[in-house]
């Protein structure tokens, strides 16, 4: 995507890339474990997304700041220590904010540390780019990740519990589709979203082809 | 909770709360390396091995951390020590058993920072298992992972031959399949509640 | 980690002085240590406060009429106040009303449920020698089926006055706490199961029985100490 060692200028694309074109969940399939595990309700999904975004932002800014200081041989070790630090901070932060939330997310807060997306950003982007670009890109990726989690969490909560963010949406006689908030539901809903995106992408490509075909004919 | 029997811990980690299909740990290798049965099997063996190594090291670290009352450094220590322990073992394996290294070697660096590995270390700490329980737990988790991976690989090999609609090719189909597999594993729940 | 990764990559890249590696790792480790310790220090009181609120919320719910609490530890020798650091054993929460009279004792119990371990807090009333309420602290039971043990009002009624009398010799309960099929409860020590969630219901019965068999004799023996913890120090 980026040529190595080339510092890019900050554009809207730096941010937007994370939302759609390189969406960490739907396109790159990175960091799947928390995506599936904690999205049984919208509020958990949101909290997890924000926590991950925070870790991503802080760790990639720090990596970007230190990028000239870090020798190649120990770079992964350095990144991991930096990431683990911020994850520990988030872990204690969430405990301080709400124990219920902490219990709902369980070990997955600490498992942010092995989220491939974060290490991937540090290695592929932050270690080569200036602070500004890193922050913007990291923010984009984080927001993209959060939106993806919300997409999953929202759908699963609506189908599986008949509510959204804890507010009931349906009348009393709504029979929740319980399997959606159980583990298999995670796989099904994510698979469903991917199907939707595949379908959309293929349709767009087909249209593009038709347009090109038409213009060739017209000329 | 020291009363839990070793067999039960093993079964619980392997099938009732299967690491991949019920707890969603180690999804990346599950989706990535499950295309061929052969590779999946070797990957599974490597994971069992790394889980045992990391479980033992995590047990040792946790003992030290509690000793000095610095549990807040747990995450950083786990990650650093597990990564280096695996690398040390990898080097030793290369030297003393090249055949084994050829079979498992390429997977080792790949799985060191896999969430299933760290998950084993964290869960055994949360549940306050003693040393033998830790071993049973990590072995069970590894076996469960291998089981899920080989099952999935078997299914996907068959799927290669099937004629599926264009839109559902790739990850989407794999996820749906994983969902069905996970649904099947839900049938194991309740095994633990039946006894006694 | 640097010791293990350095020799491998050193052959590939022109040697960076090991001083640089040490400096960077040292710097990063120092910085991260500082940040972690700082966060830990700042959040510790908040977390303790949260934990206290959480436990008291559950506690005052299971012990009717309680407004304050004291913690005790049941060791092999007996029951001592929890501020005794050396004591190791089961935590016992004693709940008191506004006149500082003991109204109930709360204990934690756990057993394997349908999906995972279920942990509950239950209260024991020493006057009627019965269980007065349960509150589920942690579970992963199937939503809509097994998780009814936490909310189902009919099931909760089992624990308004669940008999847990001691045997005459004080070594255990006079009657085992047992789960029976839905709608067949006939004795005060039986728990009426939730229809369709037998395994979860049985888990609750089992953990209550296991815990009460052990703990009730101790509580009854050391009841005076729980009633008036001050006397012990005189």
Q: What is the pLDDT of residues C130-151, one digit of tens each?
A: 888 888 888 878 777 888 888 8
**Confidence (pLDDT) at A53:** 93
Interface of C with A (CB under 8 A): 1-2, 5-6, 9-10, 13, 16, 20-21, 24-25, 27-29, 31-32, 35-36, 39-40, 43, 46-47, 50-51, 54, 138, 142-145
Q: How close is the nearest chain B Cα to the Cα of A168, in Å?
A: 26
Q: How close is the nearest chain B Cα to the Cα of A133, in Å?
A: 27
Mean pLDDT of chain C: 80
Q: From CA A36, how far away is CA C66, in angstroms rounded?
A: 41
**Confidence (pLDDT) at C233:** 44
Half-sphere exposure for B150 (CA within 13 Å, toward CB) = 12
DSSP assigned state of C83: T
Q: Does residue A147 surpass a pLDDT of 80?
A: yes
Chains in contact with A, where contact requires at least 3 CB pairs less than 8 Å apart:
B, C
Element (H, E) at B142: helix B131-161
Contact between C111 and C207 (Cβ < 8 Å): yes
Interface ipTM > 0.85:
no
**CB-nearest partner of C25 from A74, A161, A182:** A74
Q: Which residue of B has its CA nearest to C112?
A: B193
Task: Kindly tell me the burial class for residue C10, based on how many C-beta atoms sit within 10 Å of its own C-beta (0-12, 13-18, 19 or more).
Answer: middle
Mean pLDDT of C102-121: 85
**pTM score:** 0.82
Contacts across the A-B interface (CB distance below 8 Å)? 114
pLDDT per position as a tens digit, C163-199: 888 887 777 788 888 888 888 888 888 888 888 888 8
Question: Quick one: pLDDT band at residue A70, thresholds 50, 70, 90?
Answer: confident
| Chain B residues close to C40, C-beta within 8 Å | 72
Q: How many CB atoms lie within 10 A of CB C136?
A: 18
What length does chain B have?
196
Q: From CA A72, how far away is CA C14, in angstroms rounded?
A: 10
Task: Kindly tell me the burial class for residue B27, based on how many C-beta atoms sit within 10 Å of its own C-beta (0-12, 13-18, 19 or more).
Answer: buried
**Confidence (pLDDT) at A2:** 43
In order along its 196 residues, chain B shows pLDDT tens digits of: 445 688 888 888 888 888 888 888 888 778 877 778 888 888 888 888 888 988 999 999 999 998 888 888 888 888 888 888 878 888 888 888 787 777 776 677 667 667 888 888 988 888 888 899 999 999 999 999 999 999 999 988 888 888 888 777 778 888 888 999 998 888 887 666 554 3
pLDDT exceeding 70 applies to what percent of chain C? Answer: 88
Contacts across the A-C interface (CB distance below 8 Å)? 86
**Confidence (pLDDT) at A72:** 79
Question: Quick one: pLDDT band at residue A88, thresholds 50, 70, 90?
Answer: very high
Of A61-65, A84-88, A173-177, C44-48, the least confident: A173-177
Question: Quick one: pLDDT band at residue C11, thresholds 50, 70, 90?
Answer: very low
Q: Higher model confidence: residue C230 or residue C57?
A: C57
The 3-class SS string of C187-229 reads CCCEEECCCCCHHHHHHHHHHHHHHHHHHHHHHHHCHHHHHCH
Q: From CA C25, how far away is CA C22, in angstroms rounded?
A: 5
Contact between A189 and A156 (Cβ < 8 Å): yes
Distances (CA, A) of B76 to A61, B82, C60, C118: 19, 10, 38, 30
Q: Higher model confidence: residue B68 or residue C83?
A: B68
DSSP assigned state of A41: S
B182 contacts A91? CB cut-off 8 A: no
Contact between B176 and A191 (Cβ < 8 Å): yes
Q: Which of residues 131-170 of A touch B (CB under 8 A)?
A: none
A202 contacts B79? CB cut-off 8 A: no
Q: From CA C38, how far away is CA A107, in angstroms rounded?
A: 22
Q: From CA C24, how far away is CA A176, in angstroms rounded?
A: 54
Q: Does residue C10 surpass a pLDDT of 50?
A: no
């Amino acid at each position: 995507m980026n040529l190595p060692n080339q510092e890019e200028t900050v554009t809207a694309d730096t941010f937007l890339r994370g939302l759609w074109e390189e969406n960490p969940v739907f396109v790159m399939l990175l960091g799947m474990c928390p995506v599936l595990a904690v999205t049984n309700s919208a509020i958990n999904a949101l909290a997890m997304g924000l926590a991950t975004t925070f870790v991503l932002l802080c760790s990639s800014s720090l990596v970007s700041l230190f990028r000239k200081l870090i020798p190649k041989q120990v770079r992964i070790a350095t990144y991991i220590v930096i990431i683990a630090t911020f994850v520990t901070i988030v872990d204690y932060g969430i405990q301080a904010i709400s124990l219920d939330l902490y219990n709902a997310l369980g070990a997955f807060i600490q498992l942010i540390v092995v989220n491939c997306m974060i290490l991937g950003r540090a290695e592929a982007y932050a270690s080569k780019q200036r602070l500004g670009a890193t922050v913007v890109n990291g923010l984009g990726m984080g927001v993209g990740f959060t939106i993806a989690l919300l997409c999953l969490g929202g759908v699963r909560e609506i189908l599986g519990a008949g509510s959204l963010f804890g507010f009931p949406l349906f009348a009393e006689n709504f029979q929740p589709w319980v399997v959606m908030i159980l583990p298999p539901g995670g796989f099904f809903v994510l698979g469903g979203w991917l199907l939707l995106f595949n379908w959309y992408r293929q349709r767009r490509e087909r249209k593009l082809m038709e347009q090109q075909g038409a213009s060739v004919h017209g000329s | 909770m020291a009363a839990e029997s070793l067999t039960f811990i093993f079964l619980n980690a392997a099938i009732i709360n299967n690491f991949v299909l019920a707890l969603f740990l180690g999804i990346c290798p599950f989706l990535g390396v499950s295309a061929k049965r052969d590779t999946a099997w070797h990957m599974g063996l490597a994971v069992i091995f790394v889980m045992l190594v990391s479980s033992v090291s995590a047990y040792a670290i946790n003992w030290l951390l509690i000793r000095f009352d610095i549990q807040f450094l747990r995450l950083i220590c786990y990650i650093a020590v597990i990564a280096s322990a695996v690398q040390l073992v990898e080097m030793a394996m290369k030297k003393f058993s090249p055949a084994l290294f050829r079979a498992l070697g390429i997977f080792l660096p790949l799985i060191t920072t896999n969430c299933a590995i760290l998950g084993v270390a964290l869960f055994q700490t949360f549940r306050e298992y003693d040393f033998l329980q830790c071993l049973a737990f990590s072995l069970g988790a590894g076996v469960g992972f291998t089981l899920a991976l080989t099952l999935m690989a078997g299914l996907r090999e068959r799927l290669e031959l099937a004629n599926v609609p264009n839109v559902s090719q790739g990850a989407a189909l794999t996820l749906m399949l994983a969902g069905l597999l996970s649904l099947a594993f839900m049938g194991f729940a309740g095994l633990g509640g039946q006894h006694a | 980690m640097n010791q293990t990764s350095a020799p491998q990559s050193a052959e590939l890249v022109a040697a960076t002085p090991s001083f640089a590696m040490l400096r960077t790792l040292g710097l990063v480790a120092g910085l991260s240590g500082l940040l972690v310790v700082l966060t830990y220090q700042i959040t510790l009181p908040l977390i303790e406060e949260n934990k206290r609120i959480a436990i008291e919320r559950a506690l005052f719910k299971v012990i009717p009429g309680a407004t304050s609490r004291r913690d005790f530890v049941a060791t092999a020798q007996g029951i001592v106040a929890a501020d005794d650091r050396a004591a190791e054993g089961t935590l016992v929460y004693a709940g008191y009303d506004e006149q500082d009279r003991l109204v109930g004792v709360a204990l934690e119990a756990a057993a394997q449920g349908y999906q995972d371990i279920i942990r509950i807090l239950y209260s024991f009333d020493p006057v009627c020698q019965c269980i007065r309420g349960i509150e589920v602290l942690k579970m992963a039971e199937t939503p809509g089926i097994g998780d009814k043990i936490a909310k189902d009002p009919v099931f909760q009624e089992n624990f308004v006055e669940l008999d847990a009398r001691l045997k005459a010799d004080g070594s255990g309960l006079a009657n085992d706490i047992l789960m029976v099929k839905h709608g067949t409860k006939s004795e005060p020590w039986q728990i009426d199961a939730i229809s369709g969630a037998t395994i979860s219901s049985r888990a609750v019965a089992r953990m209550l029985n296991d815990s009460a068999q052990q703990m009730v004799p101790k509580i009854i023996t050391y009841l005076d100490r729980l009633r008036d913890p001050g006397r012990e120090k005189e």
